[in-house]
Every structure is written in C-alpha cells, then in structure tokens.
C-alpha cells in the first residue's frame, strides 16, 4: 500500500498531538519527546509532526512505499521526466531507517519517496548538515540543481551543508 507522507514542523508538540489525535480519531503510533507519527489506513497516510527548532509549517511531503521495487519505479518516473532526485540508502531519519529519494517540485517543495526498513531509537543522523545545534539532523534538500548556492540546502539549514544535495 502506498501512503501519502506529510511532515509538519510544530512549536508545541503536546498541543499538536492532542489536536491531530482528535482529528484522526487515534493516538500516534510513534511518540517521542520531539516527534509523533500517525500511520493510518483510512485515509492512507503517514502523518508526522516534530518540534526540532524549525519554522512551523510544512516540513516536507512524500510517498511511503512497501518495497524497494516500488521506490525504484518512482525514481524511474522522475528520471524519465528529467527531474533529478537525491538517493539515500539506509538513511537514519525521523526514528526510522529507510531507503529514499528526495526531489523538489517546481515550487521548491521537498518530496521524499521512501521505503522504511526499520525503526531506530534516535531522530537520525543520515547526513551531517554541520549544524552546531543539532548534529543528528535529517537532510531535506531545499534547492534545485540550477541554483549555485551551497548554503541552506538542507532542512534544518546550515551554511556548512555544502554538497549535501548532490546525488
């Protein structure tokens, strides 16, 4: 089953957990001090919130798949349409280990296509963004290849994040 993935950065985690638990009619399936996730079947969604010092609002969107072959299909479609994607194998992010591809839509919104392999006990450390405040931050590309600046290419952003968006 494919699921739409939505990740929202929030300021007050507990208040948001209460709101989204009410909205979805169920408590989160994963809850940590800085993160919560609802993986529900109706509607088929993997909905996550986190309070990791990011600007509140949409963090990224995505599609969760059940196999690496489904993940490869998405990458092949993007490549065939000449959209580039950043590949990450065994990425440790959002309390999960996953194979994934990151692509930016024409507006610059980050889309994560991913296959979850396992849960992990930490938020993640798939790519070191160089951010002094959070060395375990997950890398979310925030620029397209046609842009020259290497700064702020990951969320959470860092001026020392050079090269993190390279395939």
Q: Which domain holds residue 113?
A: 3-119
Structure tokens at 84: 């580039």
Q: What CA–CA distance (Å, rounded) separates 23 from 45? A: 13
Contact 114, 62 (CB under 8 A): yes
pLDDT number for residue 41: 93
In a domain, 166, yes or no: no
Provide the domain count of the chain. Answer: 1
Beta strands in 1-95 (DSSP E): 3-9, 30-32, 35-41, 44-50, 57-65, 86-93
Contact 135, 122 (CB under 8 A): no
pTM of the model: 0.73
- pLDDT tens digits, residue range 112-156? 999 999 888 887 764 433 333 333 346 666 554 444 444 334 543
In a domain, 163, yes or no: no
> Which CATH number belongs to the domain containing residue 54 in this structure?
3.10.180.10
User: For residue 64, how far is the Cα from the chain centroid?
Assistant: 10
In a domain, 158, yes or no: no
In a domain, 144, yes or no: no
């Amino acid at each position: 089953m494919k699921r739409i993935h939505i990740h929202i950065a929030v300021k007050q985690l507990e208040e948001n957990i209460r709101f989204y638990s009410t909205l979805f009619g169920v408590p989160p399936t994963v809850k940590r001090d800085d993160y919560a996730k609802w993986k529900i079947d109706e509607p088929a969604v993997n909905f996550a919130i986190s309070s990791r010092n990011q600007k509140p609002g949409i963090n990224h969107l995505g599609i969760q798949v059940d196999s690496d072959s489904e993940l490869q299909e998405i990458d092949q479609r993007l490549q065939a349409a000449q959209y580039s994607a950043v590949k990450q194998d065994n990425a440790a992010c959002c309390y999960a280990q996953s194979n994934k591809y990151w692509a930016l839509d024409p507006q610059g919104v980050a889309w994560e296509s991913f296959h979850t392999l396992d849960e992990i006990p930490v938020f993640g450390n798939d790519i070191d963004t160089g951010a002094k405040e959070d060395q375990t931050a997950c890398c979310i590309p925030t620029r397209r290849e046609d842009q020259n600046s290497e700064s702020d290419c990951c969320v959470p952003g860092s001026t020392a994040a050079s090269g993190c968006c390279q395939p």
